A and B are shown apart, each in its own frame.
Chain A
Amino acid sequence: MTFCKRIFEIMGNLTIGIYLLFIITILFIVGSYYANLFPNTIGALNDINLYKWLMSNGKQRPYILLWIMSIILSIGLLFINICICTLKRLYFFCKKWVSHEPVSIYKIIPSIIHIMFIVSIIGHGLSMICIYKERYIINIGDEIYLPKDQHIRIIDIKWLFFDLDTKIIRQINVKIKSKDKYYNLSFLHPVAINGYRIFLDINKYNNSKGELILVVVKDVGSLIVIYADLIMTILMTYFFVFKLKKSWREL
Chain B
Amino acid sequence: MVIRLIYYMFYTTIACYAVFFLLLFIQNTPNRLMLLFFWGFSFMCHTIYIVTRGWMIGIFMPNSILSEPFFLPWLLSLMCIILSKTNRDMKYILPIIIPFIVISIFLPKGTPVPSPKQWTILSTLFFLFEVIGHAFFILGGWLSILVICKRISAYNNKKKHIIIIGFVIYSLAQIIGAYWSYLGWTIPFHWGDRHMQSAAIWCYYAAYIHFQYINNNSNLREKLEVLGAILVIFFSYYSQLKEINIPRLG
Q: Which one, B175, B183, B193, B206, contacts A230 given CB within 8 A?
A: B175
Interface string of A215-251 (1 = CB under 8 A from B): 1010100100110011011001100110010010011
Give A188 to B184 CA distance when docked, in angstroms. Answer: 5
Q: Which of B128-180 contact A (CB under 8 A)?
A: 157-158, 161-162, 164-165, 167-168, 171-172, 174-175, 178-180
**Nearest residue in B to A223 (C-beta to C-beta)?**
B182
Q: Which one, A215, A225, A229, contacts B186 given CB within 8 A?
A: A215
Q: Does A145 contact B (CB under 8 A)?
A: no
* Distance in Å: Cβ of A238 to nearest Cβ of chain B: 10
Whether the pair A24, B184 counts as a contact (CB closer than 8 A) is: no
Give A51 to B185 CA distance when docked, in angstroms. Answer: 22
**Nearest residue in A to B82 (C-beta to C-beta)?**
A251
Whether the pair A188, B172 counts as a contact (CB closer than 8 A) is: no
Q: Which one, B120, B174, B196, contacts A31 given CB within 8 A?
A: B196
Question: Which A residues are in CB contact (< 8 Å) with B113?
Answer: 168, 205-207
- Of the listed stretches A36-44, A89-97, A174-182, name the one at the interface; the rest are far from the partner chain: A36-44
Q: Which one, A21, A45, A131, A171, contacts B119 given CB within 8 A?
A: A171
The A-B contact count (CB < 8 A) is 165
Q: Which one, B119, B180, B187, B210, contacts A127 given CB within 8 A?
A: B187
Whether the pair B182, A226 counts as a contact (CB closer than 8 A) is: yes
* Distance in Å: Cβ of A31 to nearest Cβ of chain B: 4
Give A35 to B114 CA distance when docked, in angstroms. Answer: 23
Whether the pair B178, A226 counts as a contact (CB closer than 8 A) is: yes
Interfacial residues, chain B to chain A (CB-CB below 8 A): 57-59, 82-83, 113-117, 119-120, 122, 157-158, 161-162, 164-165, 167-168, 171-172, 174-175, 178-180, 182-194, 196-197, 199-200, 203-204, 206-207, 210-211, 213-214, 231, 235, 242, 247, 249
Question: Which B residues are in CB contact (< 8 Å) with A43?
Answer: 190-192
Question: Which B residues are in CB contact (< 8 Å) with A124?
Answer: 189
Interfacial residues, chain A to chain B (CB-CB below 8 A): 14-15, 17-18, 21-22, 24-26, 28-29, 31-33, 35-36, 39, 42-43, 45-46, 124, 127, 131, 133, 162-163, 166, 168-172, 187-190, 197, 199, 201-202, 205-207, 215, 217, 219, 222, 225-226, 229-230, 232-233, 236-237, 240-241, 244, 247, 250-251
Question: Which A residues are in CB contact (< 8 Å) with B58?
Answer: 162-163, 166
Known contacts A18-B207, A18-B214, A233-B172, A217 near B186 by CB under 8 Å: yes
* Distance in Å: Cβ of B232 to nearest Cβ of chain A: 12
Whether the pair B175, A233 counts as a contact (CB closer than 8 A) is: yes
Whether the pair B158, A222 counts as a contact (CB closer than 8 A) is: no
Whether the pair A251, B83 counts as a contact (CB closer than 8 A) is: yes
Question: Which B residues are in CB contact (< 8 Å) with A36?
Answer: 193, 242
Known contacts A187-B116, A188-B117, A250-B158, A42 near B191 by CB under 8 Å: yes
Give A74 to B19 CA distance when docked, in angstroms. Answer: 51
Question: Which A residues are in CB contact (< 8 Å) with B180?
Answer: 188
Known contacts A28-B196, A124-B189, A206-B113, A225 near B178 by CB under 8 Å: yes
Whether the pair B200, A32 counts as a contact (CB closer than 8 A) is: yes
Question: Which A residues are in CB contact (< 8 Å) with B206?
Answer: 21
Whether the pair A187, B186 counts as a contact (CB closer than 8 A) is: no
Question: Which B residues are in CB contact (< 8 Å) with A166?
Answer: 57-59, 249
Whether the pair B191, A240 counts as a contact (CB closer than 8 A) is: no
- Contacts A21-B204, A166-B59, A240-B167 known; 11 new A-B pairs at CB < 8 A: A21-B203, A22-B207, A25-B200, A42-B192, A127-B187, A187-B184, A188-B120, A229-B178, A240-B165, A247-B157, A250-B157
Question: Which A residues are in CB contact (< 8 Å) with B194?
Answer: 32
Whether the pair B189, A225 counts as a contact (CB closer than 8 A) is: yes
Question: Which B residues are in CB contact (< 8 Å) with A168?
Answer: 57, 59, 113-114, 249
Give A37 to B179 CA distance when docked, in angstroms. Answer: 27
Give A188 to B119 CA distance when docked, in angstroms. Answer: 9
Give A241 to B113 CA distance when docked, in angstroms. Answer: 38
